[in-house]
Structures are given as structure tokens and as C-alpha cells.
Amino acid sequence: MKWPKTLMVVSHARDFLNMVCTDILHLHSRKLTSYKGDFDTFERTATERLRNAKKAAEGQERQRAHMQVCLGSRVKVWNITSIMRRYLLTHSPSGFFPIP
């Protein structure tokens, strides 16, 4: 049955919510998310979204850590290289090590 208006229901009775609800609006962290279906469908979908968000965050964290390790080692190499260049420029007139 299609209703021309919206009815807001607040209940802890899961069976009642499953019988009555066709759409659910979930307000969490100042964000409103719309779900189609009854309460059980909402619960499954919301749990799946949360699981996917956690996996994505963990993947991003792994990638960030990997990039930090790679960039950290390059920064060390760059620092050593720049120190060597400065040493060669100040201690050798040609900027190269003299060949014996």
C-alpha cells in the first residue's frame, strides 16, 4: 500500500518495525542515510557499510604506512646525498673525488 504522507515511528519492537517500515532514515554523526526495506534489511546493510568502511580505512592506513616507510628511507638517502654533495663542493675544487 502506498501512502501519500510520511509516518515517523519510534519503537524497540523489531517485529513491528519489520512489518511497518518500508524505508528507514538513519541519523548518525550528523549524517542522514536512507535505507530501503524493513528493519532487518537496514541492519544488514548498515553493518555491511560499516565493515566496508573499516576495510577501506585499514587499507588506506596500510598504504599510508608503506608510503611513509618508502619516503622515509628516500629522505634519508636524499639527506646523505646532499651532505656528500656539500662536502665535495667545499673540499674539492672540481666537486669530484680526486683520482689517485
99: in domain: no
First-to-last C-alpha distance (Å) of the chain:
96
In a domain, 44, yes or no: yes
Q: Considering only CA atoms, which of 57, 59, 35, 58 is closest in space to residue 47?
A: 35
pLDDT tier at 97, thresholds 50, 70, 90: low
Domain-embedded: residue 73: yes
**pLDDT at residue 100, rounded to an integer:** 47
Q: Which pTM value belongs to this model?
A: 0.58
Matching residue, cell 683520482: 99
- Count helices and strands (H / E) in the chain: 2, 2
DSSP 8-state assignment for residue 97: P
Residue scoring higher pLDDT (59 or 73): 59
**Domain-embedded: residue 82:** yes
Give 13's contacts (C-beta < 8 A, 6+ positions apart): none
Total domains in the fold of the chain = 1
